[in-house]
């Protein structure tokens, strides 16, 4: 898969991240915040299990060899989904997503710069720093009423 296709797929992923909190927020109005998060993850788990069984190339057998922190992604995802369910009805989708994007890019720059989790090190340079500062300024402008 080429980089242009990956960029397009990540763009599509961004669309889903913007849609998911509003959909889950509507569900939360009917069943509750934590319950909505639970249902969201349950449906996602079923979809991923079917995908893994039909098209997966890995194996669940390797699960016994992972470190505890390598399993924390699910907890982090649950926190994220729950916070968006709480935030979006109060501050709006745009403000919530602006805060998320700003935080993601700031964290991403730090992860890249230090090569954390064993991934490629991409040093922080002036252009990347200016980009994040501008995104944070945009976040502040979007959130400001």
Residue 39 in tokens:
């249902």
Give the model's pLDDT for residue 13: 92
Ranges under pLDDT 70 in the chain: 145
Residue 19 in tokens:
């849609």
Domain ranges of the chain: 18-51+73-91, 92-145
CA dist., res. 7 & res. 103, Å (int): 19
| pTM of the shown model | 0.82
Q: Which tens digits make up the pLDDT trace of 3-36?
A: 999 999 999 998 998 899 999 999 999 999 999 9
Mapping DSSP onto H, E and C, the string for 58-97 reads CCHHHHHHCCHHHHCHHHHHHHHHHHHHHHHHHHCHHHHH
Give the model's pLDDT for residue 144: 75
Give the model's pLDDT for residue 139: 84
């Amino acid at each position: 898969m080429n980089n242009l296709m990956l960029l397009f797929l990540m763009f599509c992923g961004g669309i889903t991240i913007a849609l998911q909190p509003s959909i889950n927020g509507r569900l939360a109005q009917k069943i509750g915040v934590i319950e909505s998060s639970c249902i969201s993850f349950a449906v996602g788990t079923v979809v991923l299990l079917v995908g893994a069984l039909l098209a997966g190339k890995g194996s669940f057998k390797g699960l016994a060899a992972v470190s505890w922190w390598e399993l924390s992604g699910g907890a982090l995802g649950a926190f994220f989904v729950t916070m968006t369910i709480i935030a979006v009805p109060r501050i709006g989708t745009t403000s919530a997503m602006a805060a998320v994007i700003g935080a993601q890019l700031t964290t991403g720059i730090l992860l890249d710069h230090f090569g954390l989790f064993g991934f490629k090190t991409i040093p922080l340079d002036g252009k990347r720093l200016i980009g994040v500062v501008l995104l944070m300024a945009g976040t502040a402008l979007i959130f400001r009423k």
